[in-house]
Structure 1
Amino acid sequence: MIEKRDEKPKLYKNYPYLVYARVSTDKDEQKDSLTNQVDICRYWLEQNNYEWNDKSILEDKAKSGTMFLERTAMQLILKKARNREIKMVVFKSIHRLARDLKDALEIKEVLLGHGVRVVTIEEGYDSEFEGKNDMKFEMFSMFAAQYPKTQSVSISAALAAKVRKGHHIGKIPYGYDRVDQKLVIKEDEAAVIRKIFDWYNNKGYGQKTITNKLNEGVENASILPPKSGGVWQLTTVQRVLKNRTFCGDFILNQYTNIKVDGRKKQIKNPESKWTIIKNHHPAIVSREEFEKANNKEVVNNRRKVTPWNEFRGLLKCGHCGSNMVIMQSWKKKKDGSKTHWNYLKCSKYRRSNKCVNHPPITYDSFRELLLQKLKEETEKASFNLEFNLTMNDQVRIRKLEKELDGIKQKIDRLLDIYLEGMLNKYDYERKKEELVKKGQQLEDELFILNNADKRDLNIETIKEALEQLNDTDQDLYNVFNKLLKCGTIYEDGSIDLKFKFGKI
């Protein structure tokens, strides 16, 4: 009788796998450290007869599991999966993969859809053996997604308890210092806050005038600059006047973080969700002063309704590049009535007085100038529009065709070099694949440019916009946006206009 020998398990050499590790912060506990995660994954791989490779490790350091797009290592894994460069990804746990149910399922679908095996060691999940039953993965992903939400509630409750004891959390506001976790007034900065409220409430100055006076004081060193340095801006003054911190109040739950397209975004909660703790810290201005500055009657009397701007986002300052915005002015007649007009100014000059003061160009005169120039060229543009667009496309098409011919010649030369024995098979196939991929991209662009329907649609859209210029009484924002590429207004009052359908 022949005795059977025990065969050694097959060792998987050069198997294309990746090990993924992630920590949310530098303060993660030892059990979730990067080294610990890698060691656990390495032990699993060696126990399952895979040859260990130090270059297989990809790490996301200080990256939240809820922020999908900010995790560069994870994005690289998905890219490699789509390019069929890997066959397996190993995670310590689903918590390390993602803490958002939608992201976890999306990552798994991308990996499995491109033939990549997914292994999470703590949960004992292995896509190779689970088949179509993914209940285990979905269940553990749901638990992982719930954890940060539960943790957030606990942290918020702990912070709220600290605030109720008089402690301060968050960024230290202008006018204060923080001592023993409590706010104390910083007199030199607080003097600026009191001056802003005094000018607004008692002197009757508007917010723009206050901004200019503050910057004049910064220049002669009689007033401190804002905390960020630089100059005071109109929006900063507006925020100071509305900030309840300066009358001693602290607001909890004023803002919240939401997730939009894989990234965090902060939004302001409705006031009904705020928790206002009055007399939380020393006040810089009295409650009466704050309420007077925010009294609806006072605010409404001073508020200027910004007129509708048909050129928003289209006109730029030639000196600093900021948007040109509408300013309002008026003149009182002898009979007591007022004449109002609007004119264009640099938004940086409006906010801080720190750009050039353009000569007054009234909104109506600029609109009339633009309409006149457009109308003068309407007939010519209508005849030449198709020719201009087609010529631009033809130039690009010829360039792409030339590049494609060059790529085909390179592939032929590459084959000759390989057949002559000057290039090994691996390098030949790799270089050929790169050239073929680039050629495919060029062919895709050529297909789009050769699509006549798309070009005709652009022509008809611009023609339609030109035809609407005859109705000058309507809002022409969409028309100007379709025809005007950009406009630049310079310090001397000269105007440079660039249109989307050729020179005018």
Structure 2
Amino acid sequence: MKAIILARVSTEDQMTEGHSIPAQLERAREYVRRKGFEIKSEHQFDESSIKDQRTKFELVIDEIKQTTERIALIVETVDRLQRSFKESVLLDTFRKQGKLEIHFIRENLIIHQDSNSSEIQRWDLAVFMAKSYVLQISDNVKRSIEHKLKNGERPGKAPIGYVNTRTEDDKCWIEPHPFKSKVIQRIFEWYATEAFSMDQVSQKVKEDFNLALPKGRIDFILKEPFYCGLNRHKGMLYPHRYQTIISKDLFDKVQAIKAGFHKKPFKYAGLPYLYRGLIRCEKCGCAYTPERKKGKYIYYHCTEYHAKCDTKWLREEEITKQFSDYIDKIHIPDKIVKSISNILKKSHQGKVDYYNDVSTELKGQYDVLQKRIEKMYEDKLDGSITESFYNKKLIEYRSEQSNINTKLKNLQETDSNYYTTAIYLLNLANKAPAIFKRSEPDIKRQLIKIILQNPTVNDVTLNATIRKPFSLWAKGPSRHNWLPREDSNL
């Protein structure tokens, strides 16, 4: 009789001496020699026996189906072949047809066409015990995960932007990656401006950081609450104890944008028209939509979705001119930018002491909460407090610690980026007109979103509000108003 040998492991722990695939194969080959069988094929794989789709196991089944002669399936033990009864149905069909014998070496059990009820029951009992073992492991894993979550730990690999590491006392820990955490922070900040789509964020990550993150990965990152201090598990959120990368406010803002808050109710379709979705009709509030005439002229007009409002059609070139007129209003001479920059730098130096004092106070508050948690855990072990009370207070304290971490993170960002952001805005305001005139369509759209808000058209006139702080630098104010007063303490 020809024999098929099957050897399987499901975890790295089973790759030890006595459980490894080579050890299983050696014992199976020796068994085949003693029985006088001929080895038809050998199948060796690391695949869980409880998966819904057992791809490699199905190859063994296909081989049995295709053979026209009786086959002996040689397996080390029942749990190497199966840990559920779903395989029993198919294997038992082959057995009843006389196509298959199953030889379980360790159990000294052979299942064949003429097996009696006692042998079949032994097979079923072994499968039942294997399944019970799996269920017990599953329960232990669930309890372990629940314990980790309630203790503010992450039960698994950290998301991109963090690294899994170990502490000095060899405990698992998670900390921000020195480079990738900055990338994650910038991804959230870019998207929160509403000036970048996920595709554009992906492109900027490639251009600025030489890191390839496709749109799907960007979407996954923007939905991950771990970055702001929360573990998500089966739809529930649990505060964690690790350092955050972004604030909860920034995360919430991004979720609101993704959900449609402040988004224009339109879908980009067809040709990439420059102002699609940016403009609304001032009379009825409907969107302005583009149409191409004579194959080359682009006109925008009200969709008149709610009612006919008899507005005129506008050429794209005319809209560009009117947008340009708004952006031309923003300008600060180079020497004024330099003067403001110097004042900001001097002011920044005076904030160091304030930062150190507040930072020390917040860290002290965090340590007090940590000591409360450790004392409370000991009280729970001693039976002084109930499990439910412990869990309730743990969530409360972890939430407070998460808020403190967020404040510390915001304080650090404010301290390090205080004048950098201000200088960036000053330079953008200074160069915005030139950038708008020479830029590509996608850059024009981004500038409009950053500088202007609520663009509307009334007949042939474009109206918009210049956002702050750019409104402060629109043409008109005197030099005196441009320059902030210097701190008298400097």
TM-score for the superposition, normalised by structure 1: 0.47
RCO (CA 8 Å, sep 6+): is it higher in 1 or 2? 2
TM-score for the superposition, normalised by structure 2: 0.48
